[in-house]
Amino acid sequence: MDSERLQRLLGGSELVRLRQKLARKLLRDGGGRLALSRVSDAERVAVERLTGRSPRLGKSLSVDLEALSQALARAGVAENLRVALEALDGPLVDARAEHEAERRRWAVLIAGYRRRAETLGLGEWLEALQAGGLLKRLAARNERRGVALLEQALDVLERLPVQGLSLSALAAECLGDAHGLDAGRPVAALVRRALARHWRGGVARVDPDERSIWAHAGVLMGGDITSAVLTLRLPVRHGQPLDGALFYYCHQAEPSWLTLRQLLRHPPQWDCAGRDVFVCENPAVLAEAAERLAVDCAPLIVTWGRPGAAVLTLLEQLEAAGAVLHYHGDFDWAGVSIANALLERFAMRPWRMGADELLGYADLGGTPLAGLPLEARWDPNLRAVMEARGRAVHEEQLIDILLGDLSVG
């Protein structure tokens, strides 16, 4: 190779574009003819010198790579075109081929865990990790790191569900690091993605918060005494440490708060198979029910707006115990959004939440509707009736009607 002549003939910054196009053509097709448009004077002169072509005019140029390669060899400049280009710019790398090879390696890596994942019912989760590239991104494209993360995530998932184990204790037990499942840690991201798929129960539109995701697996975050649910007269059997207190509250018709910690550490033995349990959005309904109905009130739960982890965990427990759940909320767009999410997640029946009921409230005033209009998944006519009315109807305006439904006396 005559490096000095090669540099004069094909080197330099003014010929970078030409060299790049020649390299891509070689990698893609192995040779053939390259058509160039908007050719610079430097590019035209370089090609004419290398091939011995007579000077021509115009802004386009066609180059036969085989002829160019032979010209370089005859002149003693380089063995062939590929050798010349690699001498000037380094090894030719087929980015597409490398990307495909990398994709195959990650596919093989992930497929090695398929049986282990499917044993946990997480085959779709594993496929999603491959399709979306999440594992590769979390591992910063390092395959050894990817294996370690997947091993750790499956170790955690195989330990679940638990009964009121703290997140830090779970991380310490499975990962040897009490902070290994903190937000922002890659293993935590993988585990939460798997738990979220289970939480949704196949309903992709429901988007649980982080606390609800962990709670679904029985894991406590930060003690979980701040997430609580207000209840009235939930029937319970004696058995667990918390059941005695709940039994007393039920028979005294006293409202009771249940924290997420209590629900997960000491899951009550709910006695509600086949029984109606009512769920409302606003605590004023429960307060009036306790005051006016007392022991004649049906079991009642308050979401207090958009339900948090304690509410969702309690509803899961009641549904598993065979309760027949009924939901009522505000007739506003936020209320429709809450109801949509709950009725998608649970086998829950709308309670006086249809268009016909709203039409019956024509004499009631209300604040102007605000926010983005939504379709109600349980009643295709409700949106139109709400928009025509233009004003919200809140539960506080319907307390007498709702208490009539709740009365079992």
Euclidean distance between CA atoms 155 and 226, whole angstroms: 29
pLDDT at 396: 95
- For residue 337, give the nearest of 293, 306, 295 by alpha carbon: 306
Query: With left for phi above 0 and alpha for psi between -120 and 50, is residue 391 left, alpha or beta?
Result: beta
What is the domain-level CATH number for residue 299?
Answer: 3.40.1360.10
CB atoms inside a 10 Å sphere around CB 354 = 16
Query: What is the identity of the amino acid at 61?
Result: L
pLDDT at 257: 95
pLDDT at 363: 92
Write down the residue that tokens 């965990």 correspond to. 313
Question: Does residue 83 share a domain with residue 186?
Answer: no
Question: Does residue 42 share a domain with residue 31?
Answer: yes
Question: Does residue 329 share a domain with residue 194?
Answer: no
pLDDT digits (tens, 9 = 90+) for 217-246: 889 887 667 889 999 999 999 777 778 889
Question: Does residue 393 share a domain with residue 378?
Answer: yes
pLDDT digits (tens, 9 = 90+) for 63-114: 888 888 898 898 888 889 889 988 888 888 767 777 788 889 999 999 999 9
Question: Does residue 282 share a domain with residue 295?
Answer: yes
Question: Does residue 401 share a domain with residue 276?
Answer: yes
Query: With left for phi above 0 and alpha for psi between -120 and 50, is residue 298 left, alpha or beta?
Result: beta
- For residue 72, give the nearest of 60, 57, 85, 90 by alpha carbon: 85
pLDDT at 273: 96
Question: Does residue 254 share a domain with residue 199?
Answer: no
Which of 93, 118, 147 is the last residue before a domain boundary?
93
Euclidean distance between CA atoms 296 and 299, whole angstroms: 10
Question: Does residue 7 share a domain with residue 102?
Answer: no
Which of 75, 93, 111 is the last residue before a domain boundary?
93
Which of 72, 93, 114 is the last residue before a domain boundary?
93
Euclidean distance between CA atoms 296 and 326, whole angstroms: 18
Question: Does residue 347 share a domain with residue 305?
Answer: yes
Question: Does residue 341 share a domain with residue 263?
Answer: yes
Total number of domains constituting the chain: 3
pLDDT at 224: 66
pLDDT at 100: 80
Contact predicate 201/344, CB 8 Å = no
pLDDT at 205: 42
Question: Does residue 150 share a domain with residue 268?
Answer: no
Q: Which domain holds residue 365?
A: 228-406
Question: Does residue 365 share a domain with residue 245?
Answer: yes
pLDDT at 48: 81
Residue ranges, the chain, pLDDT below 70: 54-55, 94, 199-208, 223-224
pLDDT at 327: 98
